[in-house]
Amino acid sequence: MFTTDESALDNDDSFLDKGIIDSTGILELVTFLEQEFGIQIADEELLPENLDSIDRLVNFIHRKQS
């Protein structure tokens, strides 16, 4: 959270652009989210707008749980 490390991930950094995750990693992330949070993620929801940063993930999970 408090670091001078310029390579640290910010909450709005893109996982794809930063090379943190690839298409296979997205599928692993989806499996984790479904198991951990008890949600179902449809194929049409597999969009960067939902899954491509910490902020986007948090917002997506909150919407799914509502």
pLDDT digits (tens, 9 = 90+) for 7-47: 678 999 999 999 999 989 999 999 999 999 999 999 999 99
Phi, psi of 37 (to 5 degrees): -110, 0
Question: Which pLDDT score is estimated for 9?
Answer: 85
CB atoms within 10 A of CB 50: 19
Give yes or no for a contact between 13 and 56, defined as CB atoms under 8 angstroms apart: no
**Amino acid identity, residue 26?**
I
Mean pLDDT on 58-65 = 96
Between 58 and 23, residue with greater pLDDT:
58
- Give the rounded distance of the alpha carbon of 30 from its chain centre: 8
